Amino acid sequence: MKEGWLMIPCRTANRLVSEGMDRPLGLGDRARLRLHLAMCVMCSRVERQMDFLRQAMRHIGDG
């Protein structure tokens, strides 16, 4: 499936969520990701899960 400017596939959204936790995303990637997450419940859930795991790992590292 070819990616359009407005709607990206879930695989791309999940990659951008992961990359966005490691580095700032560009304006275009950020906008496409936000649009996708606003419409896709599953990817929004994946984003929350990744954030939870990241915070848990930080907490473990502090202990």
pLDDT digits (tens, 9 = 90+) for 24-44: 999 999 999 999 999 999 999
* Residues 46 and 14 sit within 8 Å (Cβ to Cβ): yes
Asked whether residue 45 carries a pLDDT value surpassing 90, the answer given is: yes
Do the domain assignments include residue 1? no
Do the domain assignments include residue 42? yes
Say how many domains are in the chain: 1
Do the domain assignments include residue 5? no
In which domain, by residue range, is 40 found?
Answer: 10-62
Do the domain assignments include residue 30? yes
Residue 46 banded pLDDT, cuts 50, 70, 90: very high
Residue 7 banded pLDDT, cuts 50, 70, 90: confident
**pTM of whole model > 0.75?**
yes
Residue 1 banded pLDDT, cuts 50, 70, 90: very low
Q: How many residues does the chain have?
A: 63
Do the domain assignments include residue 3? no
User: What whole-number distance in Å separates Cα of residue 43 and Cα of residue 35?
Assistant: 11
